[in-house]
Amino acid sequence: MSLKKKIASIIFVALTAMASTVAEAQIAIKNNLIYDVNRTPNLGVEIGLSPKTTAQVFYGINPWKYSDDKQMRHWVVMPEYRWWTCSRFNGHFFGIHAMGGEFNVQNMKDTFGLIKEDIEHRRYEGWFIGGGITYGYQWILNKHWNIEASVGFGYDYIQYKEYECGECGAFTTKDHSNYVGPTKLALSMLYLF
């Protein structure tokens, strides 16, 4: 089974399990403004499970090239379980998140050191999977709107193939990387139903 099918299956099971609580749950739709700045359309759905817990699934995709020789195409899915110190959708929360996705990156700076090689002069295709812990805070604006800030720290296993620059560049090697560091940064607008 391919990585995409495995991740889709996990999301389907998680959403099905959460569906039984929807009748009593508060639901929020959210958008991460930091992803928007990076031209990555995204959408999250968060469902209240109890007075102090929620679960969310977040998805982002960037299918575009920046220019003829630069691209950072990718998709990511991130499910998360949250525990709130006060009440759900209000104040401080702590979470556990998982993540997975695929990427196709060319001639970009590797700010976080995710790939061992010279990313500015090569093209990399691959996938990643991992998880971590989250801390965040939500501010209530009114009955339906909130703002949320969150940061996550964790681990990602990254499997990739390296190519010489360009779409048709020759394959050079296959490798992997183990990344430990920031795994999430979000400043989100939420609409609560």
Indicate the domain borders of the chain: 3-192
Average pLDDT over every residue of 86-94: 95
Phi, psi for residue 180 in degrees, rounded to 5: -125, 125
Specify whether the CB–CB gap between 124 and 161 falls below 8 A.
Answer: yes
Lowest mean pLDDT among 17-21, 59-63, 120-124: 17-21
pLDDT of residue 170: 78
For residues 170 and 165, what is the distance between their CA atoms, to the nearest angstrom?
Answer: 8
- The span from the CA of 172 to the CA of 164, in Å, is 7
The pLDDT value recorded for residue 121 is: 72
**Quick one: what percent of the chain has pLDDT higher than 70?**
79
- At residue 172, the pLDDT reads 83
Q: How confident is the model at residue 67 (pLDDT cuts 50, 70, 90)?
A: confident
11 has a pLDDT exceeding 70: no
- Of 10-19, 73-82, 122-131, the poorest mean pLDDT is in 10-19
The pLDDT of residue 119 is above 70: no
Say how many CA atoms lie within 13 Å of 119 toward its Cβ: 18
Q: What are phi and psi of 10, to 5 degrees?
A: -60, -45
Alpha carbon separation from 166 to 67, 95, 102, 104, 160 (Å, rounded): 12, 40, 18, 11, 16
DSSP 91-135: EEEEEEEEEEEEEEEES---TT--SSS-GGGEEEEEEEEEEEEEE
In terms of Cα–Cα distance, which of 84, 80, 114, 83 is closest to 98?
Answer: 80
CATH topology of domain 3-192: Porin (2.40.160)
The residue that leads in pLDDT, 116 or 167, is 167
CA 48 to chain centre: 20
* Residues in a beta bridge with 185: 151
